[in-house]
Amino acid sequence: MADNPEADIIVRGGGSGDGMAALLHGMIDIGMISRPLSPKEIGFAKAKNIDLTQFELALDGVAVVVHQTNPLREVDVDQLRAIWSGHLSQWRELSGGSGEILPLARAKGSGTEEVFAERVLKGQREGVVAKELPTNEAIVAEVAAQPNAIGYTGLGALRGASDRVRVLAIRTQSSLVLPTADAVRSGGYPLTRALLLVNPGTPSGLAASFIAYCTGPAGQALVKRAGYVEIAAGDP
């Protein structure tokens, strides 16, 4: 807006589901989502003759975090599934610590929640015992305040939080992987995702200019500054 005085841009959160609902009902020009389009969204768009166009804005890793005092350093996907389903409920079973495990999750409709549910829970949301929080930042704050908590969050919410929470490495068949920029960009981190801008049809006018800015060097520099992984080389 500073570079384009005629532009009036409003950004609101609420989760990927809210963004797509607003886009499909003609309330906004660009939807922001952090997971693939759902079959329901694709079907609704087709029924309304809306040709959705997707633009990759950034890459992200859904990081698993614990309190700084927690001795745990690594975890595998099966253990994560057991925690969120309530089958693994005591820290002594996992890290040698003490106390009951307090899992935290994003509310349904969040793209972060959907990625975690698909990759970790294998779509089985029934029986999930986690406390739901409205934002990734809220999860980081809760984990920082609760020594027995464990949660998941996007990388952007971890800016400035390295002294409050610890990011766990995920154990795969061949290695331990942290959500570093290289691991996310290569897809080696198992909870990698793309952050997308979605437009109804081919964008034009101000919407096209905004998307071009976000995906160009200046926008990608801001993506990196925000803690995400850029899709193209941004400005130094």
Structure tokens at 210: 């905004």
Task: Note the pLDDT of residue 95.
Answer: 81
The pLDDT of residue 97: 80
Radius of gyration in angstroms for the set of CA atoms belonging to the chain, rounded to a whole number: 19
Q: CA–CA distance from 132 to each of 105, 113, 138, 229 (Å)?
A: 5, 10, 10, 26
Same CATH fold, 63-178 and 16-60+193-225?
yes
Domain boundaries, the chain: 16-60+193-225, 63-178
pLDDT at 236: 38
- pLDDT recorded at residue 20: 95
CA distance 189 to 84: 20
Closest CA to 192 of 20, 34, 32, 84: 34
CA dist., res. 52 & res. 41, Å (int): 10
CATH classification (class only), 16-60+193-225:
alpha beta
H or E stretch covering 112:
helix 111-119
Q: Can you give the pTM of this predicted structure?
A: 0.87
**pLDDT for position 232:** 64
Q: Please report, rounded to a whole number, the percentage of residues in the chain having pLDDT higher than 90.
A: 82
Predicted confidence (pLDDT) per residue in 155-188, tens digit: 999 998 989 999 999 999 889 999 999 999 999 9
Element (H, E) at 153: strand 149-153
Residues of the chain with pLDDT under 50: 234-236
- Rounded Cα–Cα distance for residues 71 and 171 (Å): 16
Q: What is the pLDDT of residue 15?
A: 86
Q: How wide is the angle at C-alpha 15 spanned by C-alphas 150 and 162, nearest 5°?
A: 35
- CATH 3.40.190.10 given to domain 63-178: yes
